[in-house]
Chains A and B, each alone.
Chain A
Amino acid sequence: MSSVHVLPYTVSPRQDTGLFNAKLGIWLFLGSEVMLFGGLFSAYILLRMGAPNWPMGSTILSIPIGTFNTIVLITSSVTMVMAWVSLKLQELKKFRMYLGLTILLALTFLMVKAFEYGAKFSIHYHEYFPALFNLAVHRLAGGIAAMALVPKCILGFFFLWAVWSLAQVAFKDFSRFVRTAILLISVIAFIGIILTLFELGNRHSHHNFPPSYSTYMAIYFTLTGLHGLHVLGGIIVNGYFWGPGRRMWLDQPERFTNRIEVAGLYWHFVDLVWIFLFPVLYLL
């Protein structure tokens, strides 16, 4: 006796809600996310109103880097919606290209953020320790610096892997125009990361601003850290749909299209949160 259980309303909408279940589910989840970030924004307002002094974000953070990352996230929102449109048009290859670009841009965002974070933890041990201990502290600091390289290297690996995978898809299936567009976006992302390094080297790497430095830095790391985790979550989900998850397209194309729509709604929300975080933390 067959006991295959088929999930209801994954494709067709329920009569009472007018929605397929996953869509209602993601909107309920996004509602809870609004309250999560809303609570933290409330904390920001309270801390700012209660602080005798509040630093200008632009004196601690780099506006060009923040602007670059904002444009990167906005572009990733467009590529995400284009991935969904491609499935609507029954074009799986284009879908893979657009979703691959979304992942690439998300990795770019995190790479830039990782360098930005790293620069806030510059250790000036010479200023704090007597010469006698400098050698030991030097080794310790070297170790910590090496440890800080690990997440950047992991991100860098995935970034290069995303570029390589995209290039493979593009050179197999697409016209010269599309190949050039993918190459161009990859190069822009790469240049953005290099420029971030220069910008940090010029202005910000000579300061030590960990979360304990001030309430501003504490709320900055809390808000952007939580947002960064959401970006990471999006990369994992989109990576699954780009790779093994796309097999669903072969036997249940409509259900797969709905999944991408749901993943897209989440991704746009992540973009939407950053739209508020950027002016609040960097500009005001």
Chain B
Amino acid sequence: MSNAPADVHDVKKEVRGYMIVFGSLAFLTILTVLISRLHFGLVGNVAIALLIATFKASLVACFFMHLISERTLIYFLLIFTLGNLFFLFGLLLWGYGDILMGARFVS
């Protein structure tokens, strides 16, 4: 975001955008609750809920946090962070699926 004095017309346009995002977030919250009452199986319900949550988070990040018009350095920083996060999740799943041969379990 630039620090130049704001153009009133541009800002009013931005505000309209914020209100649309707010409406969308509220609608998607209600939608998440309603869809959770339907039965698509555990995997289906988890996938749908996380998909909607990711979309909502993207709206917040892109518009409220202004990521839609941010500097390249911030994008690099975010890609690095998310790369680390998914690496962490990957390690977790790998570790979960990779049980040592001959391991015995207490229960």
Interface set, chain A 58-85, CB cutoff 8 A to B: 58, 63, 67, 70-71, 74-75, 77-78, 80-82, 85
Q: A42-50, A183-191, A228-236: which lies at the B interface?
A: A42-50
Number of A-B residue pairs having CB atoms within 8 Å of each other in the complex: 126
Please name all residues of chain A whose beta carbon is closer than 8 Å to the beta carbon of B19 when the two chains form the complex: 78
A34 to B73, Cβ gap below 8 A? no
B72 nearest CB across to chain A (Å):
8
Please name all residues of chain B whose beta carbon is closer than 8 Å to the beta carbon of A82 when the two chains form the complex: 15, 18
* Residue A279 lies at the interface, judged by CB distance under 8 Å to chain B: yes
A268 nearest CB across to chain B (Å):
5
Please name all residues of chain A whose beta carbon is closer than 8 Å to the beta carbon of B49 when the two chains form the complex: 279-280, 283-284
Q: Mark A65-107, 1 if CB is under 8 A from B, else 0.
A: 0010011001101101110010011000000000000000000
* Residue A12 lies at the interface, judged by CB distance under 8 Å to chain B: yes
* Residues A31 and B32 in contact in the complex (CB < 8 Å), given A71-B26, A74-B26: no
* Residues A275 and B11 in contact in the complex (CB < 8 Å), given A31-B80, A35-B84, A35-B85: no
Please name all residues of chain A whose beta carbon is closer than 8 Å to the beta carbon of B30 when the two chains form the complex: 67
B14 nearest CB across to chain A (Å):
7
A71 to B8, Cβ gap below 8 A? no
Residue of B nearest to A81 (CB): B64
**A-side interface residues, number (CB < 8 Å):** 52
Q: A171-179, A217-225, A254-262: which lies at the B interface?
A: A254-262
A89 to B8, Cβ gap below 8 A? yes
Which residues of A pack against B, CB within 8 Å?
11-13, 17-20, 24, 27-28, 31, 34-35, 38-39, 42, 45-46, 49-50, 58, 63, 67, 70-71, 74-75, 77-78, 80-82, 85, 88-89, 254, 257-258, 261, 264-265, 268-269, 271-272, 275-276, 278-280, 283-284
Please list 14 pairs of residues, one from A and one from B, whose beta carbons are closer than 8 Å in the complex, sorted by A's number.
A20-B3, A24-B73, A31-B77, A31-B80, A38-B89, A42-B89, A49-B96, A71-B26, A74-B29, A78-B18, A78-B21, A272-B57, A283-B36, A284-B49
